[in-house]
């Protein structure tokens, strides 16, 4: 089954590129034609590249990796945050801070600072032991950190791969990922450089529907990888999956059904044992008809005996004549 259909790509406008005067000649092999001054991307190639990117992301997550979602342009902010949150992955949808990957140790300290600020109760001034002005300064610091680092607050190390929308706008993120040899999965519009991306998806990175569709596909790959990692599904080699622990009421229900089955089993065996005996008795039943025939014969003999009685009275008549 295909990850995404051609109709979905067409309806989302994935095939629309940039104007012919704004293009990168390296993208020529991904362009199908030109119409009304706009390049049309070859969606057949897009489908094959989507499948490759999907498999890569799924395997990366299945082996314990993480994928960072990056998209700071307005068209991508909502989709990036929604899909990354759905699968529990880090994301950056505001401003990319230089050094988020190459200087992650410093960024991690700021994440720890954010967690410290989240513990403070800014509503209860007396319990905090701080003045209103100090709380105001800390609340502003917290808001700033949440805006820039809120999407990566649970990230403890650099990601295994990055998903990027618009590599031209996010060129700093692309450069940092390549410097650390982190695989880059990205949408390639007709004005992008395909040499910067490891797993490219030719498509429109400006339309909201296009960005949402492709980001959802990558998030689905992450979700499938997480399922494989947790052992819910069997592996490619057919290994037996590890069952999830059952709730107490589910265990009681299963045990009750098992006891009922165990109680019914002996009764079924007894019924099965009685069935041959009944059949044997039915087969032997005609043998018991013999006494009935004998009794009938005796009855007939007894019925015929009175017919011979007058013969016994003949001597009495002769005695009277004498």
What residue ranges do the domains of the chain occupy?
A: 6-97+158-230, 102-154, 244-292
Q: What is the pLDDT of residues 207-226, one digit of tens each?
A: 999 999 999 999 999 999 99
3-class DSSP string for the chain: CCCCCHHHHHHCCCCEEEECCCCCHHHHHHEEEEECCEEEECHHHHHHHHHHHHHHHHHHHHCCCCEEEECCCHHHHHHHHHHHHHHCCCEECCCCCCCCCCCHHHHHHHHHHHHHHHHCCCCCHHHHCCCHHHHHHHHHHHHHHHHHHHHHCCCCCCCCEEEECCCCCCHHHHHHHHHCCCCEEEEECCCCCHHHCCEEEECCCCCHHHHHHHHHHHHHHHHHHHHHHHCCCCCCCCCCCCCCCCCHHHHHHHHHHHHHHHHHHHHHHHHHHHHHHHHHHHHHHHHHHHHHHHHHHHHHHHHHHHHHHHHHHHHHHHHHHC
* N-term to C-term CA, the chain: 126
Round to whole Å and give the CA distance between 144 and 128.
Answer: 20
Instruction: Look at strands 67-70 and 161-164 and give their pairing.
Output: parallel
Q: Residue 276 — very low, low, confident or very high, per pLDDT cuts 50/70/90?
A: low
- Contact indicator for 30, 41 with CB cutoff of 8 Å: yes
- With CA atoms as reference, report the closest residue to 83 among 199, 209, 218: 218
Round to whole Å and give the CA distance between 301 and 260.
Answer: 62
Q: Residue 258 — very low, low, confident or very high, per pLDDT cuts 50/70/90?
A: low
Q: Residue 133 — very low, low, confident or very high, per pLDDT cuts 50/70/90?
A: confident
- With CA atoms as reference, report the closest residue to 42 among 195, 196, 197, 201: 201
pLDDT above 70 (res 298): no
What's the pTM? 0.68
**CATH number assigned to the domain with residue range 102-154, chosen from the 4 options 1.10.10, 1.10.287, 1.10.3710, 3.40.50:** 1.10.287
Please give the residue that has the higher pLDDT: either 290 or 116.
Answer: 116
Residue 30 exposed, middle or buried by CB count within 10 Å (0-12, 13-18, 19+)? buried
Q: Residue 198 — very low, low, confident or very high, per pLDDT cuts 50/70/90?
A: very high
Range of lowest pLDDT (22-36, 72-86, 295-309) = 295-309
CB 254: neighbour CB atoms within 10 A? 11
pLDDT above 70 (res 64): yes
CB 150: neighbour CB atoms within 10 A? 17
Token couple for 128 = 């905090």
Helix axes 132-149, 104-119, angle to 10 degrees: 130
Q: What mean pLDDT, rounded, does the chain reach?
A: 78
pLDDT above 90 (res 236): no
Q: Residue 256 — very low, low, confident or very high, per pLDDT cuts 50/70/90?
A: low
Instruction: Look at strands 38-41 and 16-19 and give their pairing.
Output: antiparallel
pLDDT above 70 (res 42): yes
The torsion angles phi and psi of 68, rounded to 5 degrees, stand at: -90, 130
For 6-97+158-230, CATH gives 3.40.50.10490
pLDDT above 70 (res 262): no
- Contact indicator for 17, 189 with CB cutoff of 8 Å: yes
Q: Residue 254 — very low, low, confident or very high, per pLDDT cuts 50/70/90?
A: low
Residues 6+ apart with CB under 8 A from 152: 68, 90, 91, 92, 100, 107, 111
Token couple for 259 = 């006891």
């Amino acid at each position: 089954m295909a990850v995404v259909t051609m109709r979905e790509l067409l309806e989302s406008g994935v095939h629309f590129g940039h104007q012919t005067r704004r293009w990168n000649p390296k993208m020529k092999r991904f362009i199908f034609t030109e119409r009304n001054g706009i390049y049309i991307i070859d969606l057949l190639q897009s489908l094959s590249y989507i499948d490759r990117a999907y498999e890569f992301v799924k395997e990366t997550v299945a082996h314990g990796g993480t994928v960072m979602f990056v998209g700071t342009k307005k068209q991508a902010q909502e989709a990036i945050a929604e899909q990354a949150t759905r699968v529990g992955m880090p994301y950056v949808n505001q401003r990319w801070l230089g050094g988020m990957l190459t200087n992650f140790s410093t960024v991690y300290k700021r994440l720890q600072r954010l967690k410290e600020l989240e513990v403070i109760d800014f509503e209860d001034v007396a319990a905090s032991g701080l003045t209103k002005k100090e709380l105001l300064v800390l609340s502003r610091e917290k808001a700033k950190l949440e805006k820039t680092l809120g999407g990566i607050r649970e990230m403890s190390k650099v990601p295994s791969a990055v998903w990027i929308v618009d590599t031209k706008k996010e060129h700093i993120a692309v450069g940092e990922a390549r410097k650390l040899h982190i695989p880059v999965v990205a949408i390639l519009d007709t004005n992008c450089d395909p040499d910067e991306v490891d797993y490219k998806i030719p498509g429109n990175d400006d339309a909201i529907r296009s960005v949402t569709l492709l980001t959802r596909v990558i998030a689905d790959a992450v979700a499938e990888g997480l399922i494989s990692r947790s052992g819910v599904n069997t592996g490619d080699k057919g290994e037996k999956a590890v069952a999830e622990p059952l709730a107490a009421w589910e265990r009681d229900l299963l045990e009750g059904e098992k006891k009922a089955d165990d109680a019914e089993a002996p009764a079924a065996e007894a019924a099965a044992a009685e069935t041959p005996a009944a059949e044997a008795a039915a087969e032997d039943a005609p043998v018991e008809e013999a006494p009935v025939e004998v009794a009938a014969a005796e009855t007939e003999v007894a019925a015929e005996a009175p017919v011979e009685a007058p013969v016994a009275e003949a001597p009495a008549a002769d005695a009277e004549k004498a």
